[in-house]
Amino acid sequence: PTLRLVTMVGSLRQGSYSAAIARTLAALAPDDVVIEPLASIGDLPHYNADTQADGFPAAVLAMAEAIQGADGVIIVTPEYNYSFPGVLKNALDWLSRVSPSPFARKPVALQSSSPGLLGGSRAQYQLRQVFIFLDAMMLNKPEVMIGQVATKVAGDPAMLTDAPTRDFVAGQIATFAEFIRRHG
């Protein structure tokens, strides 16, 4: 059967490299894997337990439902100050309060990028720590950390165009699909 994956982007920027990578994934997926974007994490308010006590915002519940209904999640994020952006943590904090937890036992794969050389690797390892508590089923390898991303994305709308990087990312998606079929 066809697998349905969703992408979550850790940047709100219009010209985001992370968004460009996420937008490219559907074209790199095997025929029996569909990849669709989640709503922007910018739609979620700042986490506040008082807001939660008044009832979860509709955008949080909609995102939780979209994740629950998906076979797996691919998170594409930049690195901010050697970690992942606060807006992404905000989304994960909201989603972690929804019951049943949308990430519990959910297959999750990570991708990061940076205009620098290290491709956001430090952000990814901090994200992995958060997902231990969320009890997601994390794909370990291959690790997609795209350095010098500004030279690997082009067009309008921007897409990942660098051929070796596209092949590598396609390999991760295929491995993720296999991982989900075996363990998901």
Q: How far is the CB of 7 from ligand FNR (least distance, A)?
A: 13
Half-sphere exposure of 157 (CA within 13 A, CB side): 11
Q: Which residues, numbered 138-177, are part of the site for ligand FNR (CB under 6 A)?
A: none
Q: How far is the CB of 10 from ligand FNR (least distance, A)?
A: 7
Q: Answer left, alpha or beta for residue 9, where phi above 0 means left and psi between -120 and 50 means alpha.
A: beta
Q: How far is the CB of 39 from ligand FNR (least distance, A)?
A: 17
Q: How far is the CB of 1 from ligand FNR (least distance, A)?
A: 32
Burial 82-103, CB ≥16 within 10 A → b, else e: ebbbebbbbbbbbbbebeebbb
- Residue keyed to tokens 């992408």: 7
- Residue 12: which of 66, 90, 109 has the closest Cα? 90
Task: Answer yes or no whether residue 125 interacts with ligand FNR by CB under 6 A.
Answer: no
- The answer to whether the CB of 123 falls within 8 A of the CB of 83 is yes
Q: How far is the CB of 98 from ligand FNR (least distance, A)?
A: 26
Of 16 and 24, nearer to ligand FNR (C-beta) is 16
Number of residues lying near ligand FNR (CB under 6 A): 15
- Residue keyed to tokens 């074209």: 27
- Identified binder of ligand FNR from the candidate list 37, 57, 115, 184, rule CB under 6 A: 115
According to DSSP, residue 156 is labeled: T
Task: Answer yes or no whether residue 18 interacts with ligand FNR by CB under 6 A.
Answer: yes
- Name the closest residue to ligand FNR (Cβ): 78
Quote helix, strand, coil % in the chain, to nearest 5: 45, 20, 35
Q: Which residues, numbered 63-102, are part of the site for ligand FNR (CB under 6 A)?
A: 78-82
Half-sphere exposure of 26 (CA within 13 A, CB side): 12
Of 101 and 114, nearer to ligand FNR (C-beta) is 114
Q: List residues near ligand FNR by CB under 6 A.
A: 11, 13, 16-18, 78-82, 114-116, 118, 120
